[in-house]
A and B are shown apart, each in its own frame.
Chain A
Amino acid sequence: MNDIKMVAAFAENKPGQVAHFTKILAGASINIRWLAVASTGPFGVMKFLVSNPEKACEALKHEGFVVKLVDALAIEVPDKPGGLHAVADCLAKHNINLDNASGFTANNRAILVIEVSNHDLAHAVLQKQGFHVLEQKELPV
């Protein structure tokens, strides 16, 4: 399987940090598909889904940032009541913890991005349940 990789970058928690990253990625012709920022006190971690995670990592490293590719699952969820619940329930039944989750719906498509305690198991059980787990190549370039 060719799961999507998230680019995680360490940053100080101060104004201008996201702009700094987006400028570097724009300069490397990298399209950002999704972004999340988690911060605590003086620092934070920014996470990106991008067209080319390896290239994004290189570009950020070159500018001196500490970065890491992190496993994530992007799941297409039916846009109807109970759609998200079906995913959460499936994970709960297999005792898989949701570490981070976010999602959004538009044009009748809903994509849920999650990080879980047991990545491979989560992938397998979700697929078995009939969910569409996106591959890296499905992210538009």
Chain B
Amino acid sequence: MFRDQKIETLDRPALEQLQLQRLRKTVRRVAAHVPFYRQKFAELGVKPADIRSLADLRRLPFTGSADLRANYPTGLLAMPYDTTLRLHTSSGTTGKPKALFFSRKDVDNAAELCARSFVMTGITHKDVFQNMMTYGMFTGALVTHYGAEKIGCLVIPAGPGNSERQLMLMQDFRTTFIHLTPSYALYLATFLEKHGVDPRRDLALRKAFVGAEPYTEETCRKIEEGLGLDVYNSYGLSEMNGPGIAFECVQKHGMHLWEDHFLIEIIDPQTGEPLPDGEAGELVMTTLTREAMPLLRYRTRDITSIITRPCPCGRTHRRLNRIAGRSDDMLIVRGVNIYPQQIERVLMAASGVGRNYLISLEGLDEMTIKVELAEAGFEGQVEQLMKLQGQLAEKLRTEILIKPQVQLLPPGSLPVSEGKAKRVIDNRKL
């Protein structure tokens, strides 16, 4: 299923030609309108005319999240303020947010890429879309909302939370696909189970687009099992339109990144040097069609790798592997680099524990993993529970190389998030 077969299957040379043409246009645009980039170009001694091939991308400056904050609110605009159409902000948790402007064409492109991504999985105008992402300044809900409308789906702008109402809407309007965070998806699965709802029997759900937080293959399977549907991994970040940048096709092996709109690189996050295809590093993206706020070589902080093999679906746009973590989320405990996703992978594959977890760092580098006991993990004896804790700690040690404390808790005792989950509490006194 294609929305735009010609562009989605464009052969690589033609796609790269299109990319170069759009890159040159973008570079000219920021050189003309954005003082920040003009200054960066001057520092690096690079002129728009120097960009003659895609390999010249390396000559261009990086843009970091600090640059977005430093140029808040309007410093990176490439068009007059009063001609912009929409403002989004990133879901930053500290200080000023990152302000992200969209022109009419940017809004339309972002929606179009979401539409492409949905159609790629078989969504048609007959589908009913219940959007469980947060509406508001966050890109997650609005961009997919407009994308689904482009296809002609019935869109239910439910937003997150209020699970009783979500269930009512899913039942009454026969929702066929949903868009939500992995943490809320896990919560919703538990909620349905508790209320005796068998989604396969009682609901019309077929697909879930799960994103906005990195999650593991094991979590994906738990969501599929608990909600009785196919989970499609999706990748996006507010700085690059939000959702719809890279989605899985029906092969469900990596996420096609729409390369007619974005240029991608993988770099070593420490040195900034590009890494060969297939190697894991930080994803760096350049917008190719943005009007209001083009960004050159934006450092996403997300760790992934590029799959270059052709996909059986026929699309020529390369795929991203599942995001291994955000370099900002990386924990350093007793000198070891640890991503929360590594811990999640172990917990989701383990039997006897639930779907919610919390990583707590206390004192001098003491790591405690709090996880809820599930019925399957309880044999009625204290000794057996201590053994289960020990086994989990050992499994975690083989994954993260340090041995954490594991603390079993009764179900429902960990905080439940309906937006982005807070998985790490760092109270270390270092």
- Give the interface of A toward B (CB within 8 A): 6, 8, 10-12, 38-40, 42-45, 47, 64-70, 99
Contact = CB atoms under 8 A, between A and B. Distances in A.
A3 to B, nearest CB: 15
A64 B373 contact: no
Interface in B373-412: 373-375, 377-382, 385-386, 407-412
Given A66-B373, A68-B378, A45 B409 contact: no
B412 A44 contact: no
Contacts of B410: 10-12, 64-66
Contacts, number: 53
B380 A70 contact: yes
Contacts of B408: 10, 43
B382 A44 contact: yes
B382 A66 contact: no
B382 A64 contact: no
B161 to A, nearest CB: 19
A32 to B, nearest CB: 17
A99 B409 contact: no
Nearest to A68: B380
B378 A66 contact: yes
30 contacts: A10-B373, A10-B378, A10-B385, A10-B410, A11-B410, A12-B409, A12-B410, A39-B382, A40-B382, A42-B407, A43-B408, A45-B381, A45-B382, A45-B385, A64-B411, A65-B410, A66-B373, A66-B374, A66-B377, A66-B378, A66-B411, A67-B375, A67-B378, A68-B375, A68-B378, A68-B379, A68-B380, A70-B379, A70-B381, A99-B381
A8 B379 CA distance: 8
A40 B387 CA distance: 12
Contact of A45 (B377, B380, B411, B413): B380
Residue among B373, B375, B408, B410 with max Cβ neighbours from chain A (10 Å): B410
B256 to A, nearest CB: 41
Contacts of A39: 382
Given A10-B385, A64-B412, 14 more contacts: A6-B380, A10-B408, A12-B409, A38-B382, A39-B382, A42-B409, A47-B380, A64-B410, A65-B410, A65-B411, A66-B377, A66-B411, A70-B379, A70-B381
Nearest to A37: B382
Residue among B382, B385, B409, B412 with max Cβ neighbours from chain A (10 Å): B382
Contacts of B194: 64
Contacts of A12: 409-410, 413
Contact of B381 (A8, A11, A42): A8
